[in-house]
Amino acid sequence: MYCTNCSNEIDEKAIVCPKCGAATPLYLEDKKGNDSGSIGWGVLGFFQPLVGFILFLVWKKEKPKSAKTSLIGAAISTGLIIMIYAILIIFAIVMASQEPYYY
Ligand SMILES: [Zn+2]
């Protein structure tokens, strides 16, 4: 499948183009009220965690499958960001606590 906007090759399960953010036919289908629970919503949530959380809140009742998928994507992404920060902070503490070397 190719993006209708920028001709970038995109995953057939993607709901938006990762390059330009244009909606794909799958996105429009899902928007019609089809609770596809597509993995595309998870991908969107992963790259746009805030959008993922908002979609979850909006769709909780009417589209539980898609809502859950977008939330999972957002949760994984948020978890990764927190992990990266935690590692950086630990690394900084370790570096700061090192005794300076004198030759
Ligand atoms: Zn595109």
The pLDDT of residue 76? 96
Q: For residue 63, how far is its CA from the centre of ligand 1 (angstroms)?
A: 26
**Residue 14 to residue 34: CA distance in whole angstroms:** 15
Q: For residue 4, how far is its CA from the centre of ligand 1 (angstroms)?
A: 7
The pLDDT of residue 1? 83
pLDDT tens sequence for the chain (103 residues) = 888 899 999 888 788 888 898 888 877 777 776 787 888 889 989 999 999 999 999 889 888 999 999 999 999 999 999 999 999 999 999 988 887 766 6
Dihedral in degrees, nearest 10, Cα atoms 54, 55, 56, 57 = 50
Q: For residue 8, how far is its CA from the centre of ligand 1 (angstroms)?
A: 5
The pLDDT of residue 12? 82
| Residue partners of 15: CB distance under 8 A and separation at least 6 | 23, 24, 26, 27, 30, 38, 40, 41, 43, 44
The pLDDT of residue 103? 62
Q: For residue 84, how far is its CA from the centre of ligand 1 (angstroms)?
A: 29
